[in-house]
Each structure stands twice: as C-alpha cells, then as structure tokens.
Structure 1
Amino acid sequence: MDSLKIYTQKDLLTLVNQRAGEQKLGEKVTVISSLDELKNSTASFVLLGIPEDIGVRANHGIAGAKTAWPVALKTLLNIQSNPFLQGEEILVLGHFEIAEPADQSVEGLRKKVAETDLLVFPVIEKIVAAGKIPIVIGGGHNNAAPLIWGSALALKQALNVVNIDAHADLRNPAEGRHSGNGFSYALQNGYLNAYRIFGLHQNYVNQALPAQIATNKKITVTYFEDLLQSKETITTNWLNFTDDLEEPCGLEIDLDSIENVLSSATSPSGFALNEIRKILLSNTKKYSYLHLCEGAITMEDGRNDQRTGKAIAYLVSDFIKALRPRI
C-alpha cells in the first residue's frame, strides 16, 4: 500500500560520512515521528522525497526520475553544518513509497498518477498549515499539481507559481494525469492563479500552446531564446519577470531546464547550473514551497550521472540561505 515513510535519526545517520572534528548537516537535522509533531518543530524547512517516475512514463518519457531522491538526500546530509547553513533549520520528513501499478499501460500509469495526487496533497497541506516550507525532490513534474493543491488548501487561497522549465506542462488534463499536465490540471481545478514559465524553449512549443498563452491572462512566458538575445543578465531578467508576482507563490525548477543535467528530457542547451544558483541566492520572495523535479541519477536507457545529486543539494542549500532572512 502506498504510504509516507517518516525517517528516524538512525535512518539519516546511516547516510552520513561522519568525521572527527566536523559536523555534517545530517548530524544536526531534525526529525519527527508523526505529522502531528510538525507544528512543534523549530525547523523552518521540511525536506520530502517523491521517488517515482510513473508520471514521466505516463507522458511517454524515459524512466529514471525515481533515482534522484536517495542520492540527493545523501549528498545534502553530508554538507557541512556551519554558520552558512545549519542542520537545525531543516526537518527531514521522509519519502513517499509508491508501488508500481499492475496495469503498465499508459492508461494504467495515468490512473496511478491521479491516485498519487491524493496521497501527496494532504501531507503538503499539513506541512504548509504548520507554517513550514516544503522542499520537495521528485519525481516527475506531475507532482506540481498536489503541491499546489495542498498549499492552496492550507493557505485558503489559490497560489501563484513560477516555473523554470524548458516545457510548459500545459497539456490537456482530459488526457489523464501525467507529468505534462500538472499546471493545466491545477488551473482547471482553481488552485493555481498566475502561472509563469521562465525559460520556455520555442522548440518545445506545440501548435496549440501559443493560442492558449494568448487567451489565458493567467499564463505568462519568457522564452529561453529571448533570454539568449537579452543584453541583461539571467538574474536581472528573472527579477524583472517575478518582481510583481504576489505571495503566496510556489517555485518550480524542472532540472531539464539546466544544460546537461540527466533527465528524461536532457538537453545540451539550457541554463547553466550557476545561473540557477544565482537566481536562488538573489531571491527576495518568501516562496511557499520549492519543487525540484525530473532529475535522475540513472536512466532506464542506461545513462548515469551521479552529479545530479550534488546539483540538487546546491539548489536546496541556496534556496534556504536566501530565504532564511525572510522567515
């Protein structure tokens, strides 16, 4: 049965490479034994994994996104706990255990994604209602929908969301749930207010999307090709793009937007990792959540890149460092 596995301190310490005279993040992070303890935790950030790629496969993608979480977690736990980032600021909650559906057809996979939505959103709702900021590592971009859903319910209002992504993920919800329609699903159900896409690649814009963007005032796009031609820095363009985005808002980063990061849609063209780091470190908004998705360590087709875990750990630590003064 699908469930949330809540970690113990012992679980985390098995992942830490302890060294005399040093304190790693994993030795200082906090844990809880039940969701009811969230409100009493002094940690501001809650780390949570969704190691699945059912949504990616339901969107005709290549499996592999389920492999990012364990490596990213181990990498993050072995960062030094120091004045720049202290382990006590983070509560490591655990991860969702999601079984493969018996029906492996596209229809069966999409049915399973819809079931996973129902597993994820109540946990996100409890985290946000407790005044914490969830940092979720996926998993496919299908999980944006339950993140938005749970956050909106906790905050009692629709969210604004900005998505750094090469793809719009605005496919027809009537297809059934998958990684390519999380945002159109959230828009349709009223949990998503303004949706902004930063770095959308023109090569991935299907025939229906331009009209969809033009007719829906809730959707705003900055194309990656326009950023390439801009005289301003990526960070300046980002700040201009998000300056008037009102809170509460969520932050989505699809790792396929970063050049050469292993994913189902790995691309040689995209943001440099350091450009995304600059965006996070220059952040001036109190985002309600961070979602890092679609990255992989090992793909079903045999590709492998252990660096994905370190990339995710950098993004998580940068997000926390920038947001800390505003919470």
Structure 2
Amino acid sequence: AESPVFQKMKDEGTTSKAPLTEAFGQWKNAKWVLIALLGAVAGQAVVWYTGQFYAMFFLEKILLVDGATTNILIALALAIGTPFFIFFGWLSDKIGRKWIIMAGCALAVLTYFPAFHALSNAANPAMTKASESAPVTVTVNDNDCSLQFDPIGKNKFDSKSCDIAKSYLAKNAVSYTVVDAPAGTIASVKIGDKVITAPDPSKVTGDEKGAAIKAFGGEVITTLEAAGYPVKDNPAAAKDPKAAKKILYADPAQINKPLVVAILTYLVILVTMVYGPIAALLVELFPSRIRYTSMSLPYHIGNGWFGGFLPTTAFAMVAATGDIYYGLWYPIFVAGLTLVVGILFLPETFRRNIDD
C-alpha cells in the first residue's frame, strides 16, 4: 500500500507529472539531492561497509583468520550491536538525525586507524610481531606497476615483475614498504638480509612463467617462515598440485577472541549511528511529490558506489603501498567529506511535517 500522504496526492491528482525533471532538473531540488549524497549517505555507506564488510575482509584476507572463525566473530559482534540500530533510530526521534550521523562519521575518521591496529594485534599477534622484527621491502620502479583494482576478480597481474611481487605479497597479507628503483628494474623482495628477485615476464612465458611465479612464491614463503612469520602447510596442496605448499595464517590459539569481538562490536555501533537515522532523514528532506525519486539517487549511488567499491578500492590501495592499513584512507576521506558537507549544508529534519 502507498503511504497515506502519497495515496491522498494520487486521489487528488497532485502528484508530480515529471518527477525526474522536477527532482534533478531544478536546482532548488537537485541541490538537496547532492547534499543528501555527499552530506549524509556517502559517509553512512563507507562507515557501514567498513564496519561490516571490510572488517570481515580485513580479518579473513589480511589478518588470515580462518573463514569459520571470522564468520563467528562477526556474527557475535552483529548480535551485540544490532539493538543499537533501534536505539539510535529512537534517539534521532528525540534529539535529531543530523548530529547522530555526524558523530558516527567523526568517530570513524578519528578511530579507524587505532581500531584496526588493535584488531591486528588481537587477531594475529605473531604476524604483527614478525612484520616489526623482520620488515619486508619491495624494490621496484612504481611507474612500471599496474593499479591492482580488480572489481570482478579476473585479472592475474602477472605481466610485469613489479605486479608479480606486489600481488603475491598483498594476497598473502604481507605488509611491505616500497623502495624506488630506476625504470626497467626487475622487482625484488627483501626479507631481513635475503633478497629474492621476481620472475621477468619478458623472458619467461606460458608454463615456464607459471612455474617461475610458483617458485618465487615458495622461496618468499620459506624466507618469511625463517624470519618468524606464522606459516603452516596448505591443506589444499594435497588435492591441487598448483597450490602453494605453505601458507601464512593466524594461529587460532593466539587470537584474543573477546577483544576481537569488542573491537568489531565498536565498528558495528558506528554503523548503527549512521544507519539508524538515515531513512527518516531522507524521507524528511524531500517534498512528498518527488520524495521517492529524489531520495533514491543519493541512497543507491551512496551505498552502491561509495560503499560497494570500498573493499576493491581499499585492496588496490594496500597492494600499491604495501601498508595493510592504507586502504582505510578511503572510508576516512569519504566520511570526512560527509562530515564537512553535512555540518555546513545538511539541515536538521526531525521536526519537519512529512505530509507536505
């Protein structure tokens, strides 16, 4: 059924005859669409995706916690945090929508780095300790490297030595720093005192290239293990001859699960702060004759693009720099943008009459 206000407009014949033109073609309405997108929904989206989806990606793919444990820890945090959606929705009816959303964005900007550092220490302390005592460096010319932005997961990144080295380390969650080298330099990885040169795809092709890449990965993982990084036998290697024999991992016995759940719960609570009031704010922001059309664009662009591309964009940033926390700059920048635009231009709406 339609909402009472819209049903009344339909009965009276006062609905918009051209909602797209009225919503987006007239600046007096289009400006509120932009303010809603940049001053509310974009920040809400990246805080939501960081707190739930990127936190899960970070835990499993970067900190190397096994999938079952990751899902259980995330589920516990969601179970604890979910009632706060209702709480912040209720609170926004009392004190307003805007400042709760702005507070969630501000906390994200201020605390994402310490929160994810704490998550690393709690979930994989051995990896954190090893990366400090035996740092990894990659010597490359950055202009020779591809941007490893791969939203559909089809690119192999094996046409350049730089890509092979960075892709291997990034996919195995090894943090590294980049040492710049002259153009044309074959990429190399240094772990402690040992230097391992990546394969040169201009000299090896086909099966020979695949074998060289596998040998390179085997030498890197063996050196990492000798340097104190947590390594175990890969159970997939028994069935798949192409699989690596050893892999990095997070030792389940060393995971501080209560602390991990506490950190994840905090991230979920930030999600509830920005998401609990957002639907009411969007409804109240636009006039009823073009409400649905007007709020659809900022909501879906904000969540679908700003939020949806977050994991892929963050991983590309990690692969480019070698810093496992560098991808957090994406949600921090977007949440910061929303904070500025929202404070300056977003009105408080909770006392507005939505029947207009």
Query: TM-score, normalised on structure 2?
Result: 0.21
Higher helix share: 2
Give the greater-gyration-radius structure (CA). Answer: 2
Higher relative contact order (CA 8 A, sep 6+): 2
